[in-house]
Chains A and B, each alone.
Chain A
């Protein structure tokens, strides 16, 4: 997956719990993204970052927070997990060439 690591691979949360999904890259790319993919659906952009210290909302940011203190890491935080956040979460990176976006293997989250 081209130097994009996501942890954990799978997690079950109870309603109201919090957790952080980790995304780390070793390609020194400026652009990083968080998407969610609901069962049988396409990808929705949650948040993205164009560089360390800069983040911006995507299509579905409610219920999530992000930070980008380093180029390598872009964690996604869920503060109060809800069943509607059951999904597969993909982190992606992109270089300045604007061409290729590489995806991580995904984190499967189940909120019960």
Chain B
């Protein structure tokens, strides 16, 4: 199967919280990342978490890591229309954590 898996779509109401989930296979992954891609644009790093951490918070973003289950989540509080985008989970693998593998992305749409 794929190294990094995500659900394809998520729809939330404006102002609610969004939770985007990701599972990965490599227990030796050193860093796990969340990227955002707006239509027609490149990828923007949102946040990352080191594998020895359980949680990281950065303003409206909260990353939770369950290393036992190899599960990563991104919570966006007070979701706004500007949060509409595709969100990619990625893991670092290999020696020196040099190889970075991406999931297929979750498309987040915001309902008024």
Interface residues of A (CB under 8 A from B): 1, 31, 33, 35, 41-45, 48, 50, 56, 58-59, 90, 92, 94, 98-106
Bound state CA distance, A9 and B109, in angstroms?
28
Q: Answer yes or no: B73 CB below 8 A from chain A CBs.
A: no
A45 touches B99 (CB 8 A): yes
* A-B pairs, 6 with minimum CB distance: A42-B104, A43-B102, A103-B42, A103-B43, A42-B105, A50-B98
List, in ascending order, chain B residues with CB within 8 A of A42's CB: 88, 102-105
Find the A residue at minimum CB distance from B88: A42
Are B42 and A45 in contact, with the CB atoms below 8 A?
no
A100 to chain B, nearest CB (A): 6
Q: Which residues of A contact B17 (CB under 8 A)?
A: none
Query: Smallest CB–CB gap between B108 and chain A, Å?
Result: 14
Partner of B33, one of A33, A41, A101, A106: A101
A-B contact pairs, 27 of them (CB 8 A): A1-B42, A35-B102, A41-B104, A41-B105, A42-B103, A42-B105, A43-B88, A45-B101, A48-B98, A48-B99, A50-B98, A56-B99, A58-B99, A90-B42, A92-B43, A98-B30, A98-B31, A99-B31, A99-B48, A101-B33, A101-B45, A101-B100, A103-B43, A103-B44, A104-B42, A105-B42, A106-B42
Counting chain A CB atoms within 10 Å of each CB, which of B31, B44, B98 scores highest? Answer: B98
Q: In the docked arrangement, what's the CA distance between A64 and B100, Å?
A: 18
Closest Cβ of chain B: how far from A31's Cβ, in Å? Answer: 6
Q: How far is the CA of A98 from the CA of B101 in the complex (A)?
A: 14
CB neighbours of A43 from chain B (8 A): 43, 88, 102
